[in-house]
Amino acid sequence: MQNPGTTAQRHKVILWVIIIFFLLPSCSFDKTSRIIKDNKCADCHLLNPQKKIAKEHKKAPDLFYAGDKFQEKWLTEFLEIPEIIRPAGYITYPGYRQGNPELQSHIRLTKEDALLVSQYLLTLKSGLLEPVQIENQVNKKGLARGKRMFEGQYGCIACHRAQNLRGVLKGGVSGPVLSNAGNRLRGSWVFNKLKNPALFEKKGRMPVYKIPDNEYLMLTAYLMTQLKENERR
Amino acid sequence: MRKQGVWLAIILMAFFVLPSCGKKENNIGKAKPKTEVETKTPPTLGISVFRLNPTKKTRADYQWFCAPCHGIFGEGNGINSSRMPVKPINHRDPAIMSRKSDKDIFTAISHGGLAIEKAPCMPPFKHTIDKKTIASLVGYLRELCQCEDVSSGPSTPSIRLM
């Protein structure tokens, strides 16, 4: 015969387990969605791919594949202390082509909120990425080739700013800055973006290059060596 | 019995050995002209006319793809221009543009600057913009410079593409 006191205690424990495992995470999810709603993130960024927005009405990059694209540490830091990624402003802004960018200050979140939002954003994945291994796939010679392709052969530097060998920034401003690509982006996303830009953006300005996979790999590996800490200030 | 064996050997030869010889000969026959073509003729673009009349869409495409480097009025002063090692071409300068044939301009847009021995900063757009749009961009550049290709005489705008 079981002691009625023990049974009541067991029920209490089960109740607490239910609260901890099911209700608390949903509370934090509620908190995240409240932060996103309060800061009107979805007014500028597309978080749900089902929701179609005409290109000219977009105000900021799509984030429905943020989990494919961004590294966690960078994303959390960016949400707390934003930095300029597009020196000419976002491509749909009317002043973009005139060199008169409206560099809207991105919303700043508290450290705690930044962590919650970045954790949520990292769950957003397109499911379209071709799996690829970037690390340890390209040797020094390949990296040098990637640099030559970026700065010379394919003219990427005309639109994107990157570091030269001395860490000095050079290159155009119409595309996103790539001098911190190794901190900000995931290699697999860069590879897929280079190979098939239309996966993420139906009509972008980025030219499509149909080149062999090993060249995409060398370009990607080179871009992943672009680290903010190497930048000369 | 012996005769039967000889016939069988001949039939087997006819089925297996002769076709494989023919195949080899064909391969050799096919391979030769291919190498000649590769070495002697330049790559063709599969297009007979390199210019089309520009439309409203052409102007929008110019603003979308070309203006960041060549400027919104085509004067070679786009937002990237001051940061490039080689300044983009001023599309409004008839002195420069009249030295370029429609084919050269078409090739530069589709295959990039390197294809006409110019700076590689001009990327190839052949996989991004279709041939008709590239041809209409050539027409728009002629409109911007108000000039014709003087190196090969005035070319007539045409709508027919192969």
Same domain, A101 and A179: no
User: What confidence score (pLDDT) does residue A54 get?
Assistant: 74
Of A121, A148, A164, which residue is a domain's last?
A121
pLDDT digits (tens, 9 = 90+) for A195-214: 998 888 877 888 999 999 99
Q: Considering Cα of A90, then A93, then A95, then A101, what sign does the dihedral take?
A: negative
pLDDT digits (tens, 9 = 90+) for B115-154: 888 888 999 999 999 999 999 999 999 999 999 887 654 4
CA pair distance B72, B59, nearest whole angstrom: 10
CA pair distance B148, B83, nearest whole angstrom: 30
Residues 6 or more apart in contact with residue B73 via CB below 8 angstroms: B92
Asked, for residue A22, whether it belongs to a domain, the answer is no
Instruction: Using CA coordinates, name the residue in chain A closest to B109.
Output: A207
Indicate if the pLDDT at residue A7 is higher than 60.
yes
CA pair distance A168, A151, nearest whole angstrom: 14
Residue B74 at interface with chain A, using a CB cutoff of 8 Å: no
Beta strands in chain A (DSSP E): 162-163, 169-170
Mutation to test the B interface, candidates A147, A173, A193, A203, most B Cβ within 10 Å:
A173
In chain A, % of residues over pLDDT 90? 58
Among A124-133, A199-208, A215-224, B6-15, top mean pLDDT goes to A215-224
Same domain, A114 and A146: no
B138 and B158 Cβ atoms separated by less than 8 Å: no
CB contact under 8 A, B123 and A99: no
Asked, for residue A39, whether it belongs to a domain, the answer is yes
Angle between helices A187-195 and A213-223 (to 10 degrees): 140
Q: Which two tokens stand for residue A137?
A: 């796939």
Residue A10 at interface with chain B, using a CB cutoff of 8 Å: no
pLDDT digits (tens, 9 = 90+) for A82-116: 998 988 888 777 777 666 666 667 899 999 999 99
Q: What is the CATH number of the domain that holds A153?
A: 1.10.760.10
Asked, for residue A87, whether it belongs to a domain, the answer is yes
Of A90, A121, A152, which residue is a domain's last?
A121
Indicate if the pLDDT at residue B20 is higher than 50.
no
pTM of the model: 0.76
A118 and A76 Cβ atoms separated by less than 8 Å: yes
Stretch (H or E) spanning A170: strand A169-170
CB contact under 8 A, A97 and B78: yes
Q: Which residue has the tokens 């291919």?
A: B34
Using alpha carbons only, what angle is made at residue B61 by residues A203 and B114, rounded to the nearest 5 degrees? 90
pLDDT digits (tens, 9 = 90+) for A35-83: 999 999 998 899 988 887 777 777 889 999 999 999 999 999 999 999 9
Q: The domain containing residue A183 runs over which residues?
A: 140-230
CA pair distance B106, B90, nearest whole angstrom: 16
User: What confidence score (pLDDT) does residue A101 get?
Assistant: 62
Among residues B69, B63, B75, B53, which one has the least CA distance to residue B133?
Answer: B53
User: What confidence score (pLDDT) does residue B17 get?
Assistant: 42
Of B80, B119, B127, the CB nearest to A174: B80
Residue A159 at interface with chain B, using a CB cutoff of 8 Å: yes
B48 and B157 Cβ atoms separated by less than 8 Å: no
Name the 3-class secondary structure at A163: strand
